[in-house]
Amino acid sequence: MIHDPTSDHDDAEAADNDSTEGENTADGRPHRRIRSFVTRAGRVSTGQRRALDDFGPRFVVPYTPQPLDWDATFSRSAPRVLEIGFGMGATTAEIATARPGDDFLGVEVHEPGVGALLKLIGEQGLENIRIVQHDAVEVLEHMIAAESLDGVHIYFPDPWHKARHHKRRLIQPGFVSLLVSRLKPGGYLHLATDWQNYAEQMLEVLSAEPALDNTSDAGYAPRPDYRPVTKFERRGLKLGHGVWDLVFKRR
């Protein structure tokens, strides 16, 4: 989910005692797997609710533990791009408008964001977006076939900026390995963040993945033309904050 850099992530405090995958409790029961998000109780507006009702049946794909048939879902064969955590969907809609020849599957857990993107889909008549409202890890594991994606977008994921929360960041070696397994050879992975420490971690993790090559000799890439500047990013830039893009390709 695209985050507001002004957020203090108070709900991370409540999540700080969550368990790590693979460890057991004192009575031997397995801990829950750490999720890459915290479910926030956002209010769904009247317009978002109407969009969920009107456009959800057509554009929201139910989660199922089996590979998605992209050609049947989009009624065509086209390059396939997965976006993880699209927030309120404005960036997704803008990219889909600029790239009508590509199909975009957006994964987001928060209902207001799903409703907001559906509203944009309806207003702009977009046909090349579908949505899965579910945990991205399970979608990748079960709905995305190996070597089936032409691209992956992850923009401004929650930075979990306190050091003790860094383990909750989405971009970790195991998750990147899963992403790479779903990319076609030559497929790209595009990340962006406005937290320098997270950018450094992203660069380190992606550079250590043997199946990926950095497209930029400088480490961080110039912002590709297709990625619009978000309102939070624009505000941060005015305040002198940095933004880092990373674009890697699968060998």
Unique residue bearing structure tokens 């559906």: 118
Q: Is 231 known as a binding-site position?
A: yes
CB-based contact 81:103 (threshold 8 Å):
yes
Task: State residue 27 phi and psi, 5-degree precision.
Answer: -95, 10
Residues 109 and 145: their CA atoms lie apart, in Å, by 21
Is the distance from CB of 60 to CB of 44 less than 8 angstroms? no
The C-alpha atoms of residue 34 and residue 15 are separated, in whole angstroms, by 10
Judge whether 108 is annotated as a binding position. yes
| 173 contacts 209 by C-beta, under 8 angstroms | yes
Is 230 annotated in a binding site? The answer is: yes
- Judge contact between 200 and 222, C-beta under 8 A: no
Q: Is 158 a catalytic residue?
A: yes
Q: What is the 3-state secondary structure (H, E, C) of 146-184?
A: CCCEEEEEEECCCCCCCHHHHHHCCCCHHHHHHHHHHEE
Q: Exactly one of 10, 158, 217, 245 is catalytic; which is it?
A: 158
Residue 30, strand partner residues: 24
Catalogue the active-site residues: 158
Q: Point out the annotated binding site for S-adenosyl-L-methionine.
A: 83, 108, 135, 158
Q: Point out the annotated binding site for substrate.
A: 162, 194, 230-233
Q: Point out the annotated binding site.
A: 83, 108, 135, 158, 162, 194, 230-233
